[in-house]
């Protein structure tokens, strides 16, 4: 069962990624994954060997002329904190399982094309997470008679975990914070993040500063998007701050997330006049989300109990004669 990415309900940003005027986006995601922000942007799944996966994608043409679009799957890897699509049609195991229909089509100016992505996982597939991408590619003929063909493409990432049982647990730690300045003098905070779980992570989040000079507070400042951590990797996540920010010291609290997983940590930092200060080991901060959920749940149960008691009392007062043997309420 699927939920539509064009639903009117609040959703993560599902705008199409674009290149050369051609856009590409997921149209739907499995209902079971509807609360995971990554699943609305990428093809993310954990399946058993022998499973067949279906997704729909939409190609849009924002140019003023018809475009011939070629759709295909190709290899991808994660290295040095980046998700990297392979050159051209370079295959890997995952791309060999993946097909796109139609494989090519003309899309009129301001037009759209729906296509189906099918991933057939072999029955003998080994356990592990695999990476790939679905691409929409357009080519322009030789420009100015120089024989050079321009190629533009835009893709949707695929993160496919294969194995029996539930998906491997995701987890990460925020090991340290480093205060530094860019070559232009802008203050930066760089978090060192270690992927300790069994799936790749796409990092997002923000940083809050408090207890600064004169009791100042600042933020939140958003983390630079685009950092992807492979299983077991440790990579920096950078956050650019306001150039007018005093040097400190500051109490820094950073919250990072990947999908539904969130971790927070804190440390005291001071920005150097130039370069980078020594990394400061962080202290983990327990997320308040679970506590808030428990409190909300207890509150709901309390309201339900009060409402139930009120109904019982009203029906008891209406009981004819009030004598034994009569039902005080009907469940």
- Per-residue exposure over 17-46, b if at least 16 CB sit within 10 Å of its own CB, e if not: eebbbbbbbbbbbbeebbebbbbbbbbbbb
Q: Which two tokens stand for residue 208?
A: 């809050």
In this prediction the pTM is 0.81
pLDDT of residue 150: 83
Residue 149 forms beta bridges with which residues?
none
Given a cut of 70, the residues of the chain with pLDDT beneath it are 1-16, 20, 141-147, 287-331
Half-sphere exposure of 209 (CA within 13 A, CB side): 28
Cα distance between residue 310 and residue 23, in whole Å: 56
pLDDT of residue 163: 97
Cα distance between residue 10 and residue 72, in whole Å: 30
pLDDT of residue 287: 58
φ, ψ (nearest 5 deg) of residue 65: -145, 160
pLDDT of residue 331: 21
Nearest to 34 by CA among 73, 26, 295, 164: 26
19-75 pLDDT, tens digit each: 768 999 999 888 878 889 999 999 999 999 999 999 999 999 999 999 999 999 999
> What's the CATH fold of domain 172-285?
Immunoglobulin-like (2.60.40)
Cβ pair 279, 192 in contact under 8 A: yes
- Sort strands 150-162 and 43-47 into parallel, antiparallel or unpaired: parallel
Residue indicated by tokens 């997470």: 129
pLDDT of residue 222: 97
pLDDT of residue 250: 98
Question: How is the chain split into domains, by residue range?
Answer: 2-162, 172-285, 292-331
pLDDT of residue 190: 98
Torsion of CA 152, 153, 154, 159, to 10 degrees: -150
Q: Which CATH superfamily is domain 2-162 in?
A: Immunoglobulins (2.60.40.10)
């Amino acid at each position: 069962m699927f939920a539509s990415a064009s639903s009117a309900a609040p959703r993560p940003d599902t705008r199409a990624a674009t290149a050369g005027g051609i856009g590409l986006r997921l149209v739907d995601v499995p209902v079971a994954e509807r609360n995971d922000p990554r699943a609305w942007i990428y093809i993310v799944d954990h399946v058993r060997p022998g499973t067949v996966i279906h997704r729909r994608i939409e190609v849009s043409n924002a140019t003023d002329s018809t475009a011939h679009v070629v759709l295909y799957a190709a290899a991808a890897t994660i290295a040095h904190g980046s998700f990297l699509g392979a050159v051209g049609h370079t295959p890997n195991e995952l791309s060999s399982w993946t097909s796109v229909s139609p494989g090519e089509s003309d899309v009129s100016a301001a037009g759209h094309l729906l296509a189906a992505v099918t991933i057939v996982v072999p029955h003998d597939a080994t356990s592990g997470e695999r990476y790939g991408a679905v691409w929409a590619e357009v080519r322009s003929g030789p420009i100015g008679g120089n024989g050079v063909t321009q190629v533009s493409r835009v893709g949707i990432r695929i993160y496919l975990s294969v194995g029996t049982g539930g998906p491997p647990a995701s987890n990460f730690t925020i090991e340290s914070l480093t205060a530094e300045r860019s070559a232009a003098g802008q203050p930066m905070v760089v978090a060192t993040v270690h992927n300790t779980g069994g799936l790749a992570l796409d990092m997002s989040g923000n940083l809050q500063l408090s207890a600064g000079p004169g009791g100042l507070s600042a933020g939140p400042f958003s983390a630079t998007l685009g950092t992807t951590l492979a299983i077991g990797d440790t990579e920096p996540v950078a956050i650019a701050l306001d150039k007018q920010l005093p040097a400190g010291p500051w109490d820094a609290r950073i919250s990072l997330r990947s999908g539904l997983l969130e971790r927070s940590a804190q440390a005291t930092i001071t920005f150097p006049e130039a370069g980078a200060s020594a990394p400061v080991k962080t202290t983990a901060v327990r997320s308040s989300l679970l506590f808030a959920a428990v409190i909300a749940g207890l509150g709901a149960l309390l309201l339900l109990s009060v409402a139930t008691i009120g109904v019982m009392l009203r029906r008891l007062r209406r009981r004819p004669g009030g004598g034994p043997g009569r039902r005080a309420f009907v469940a």
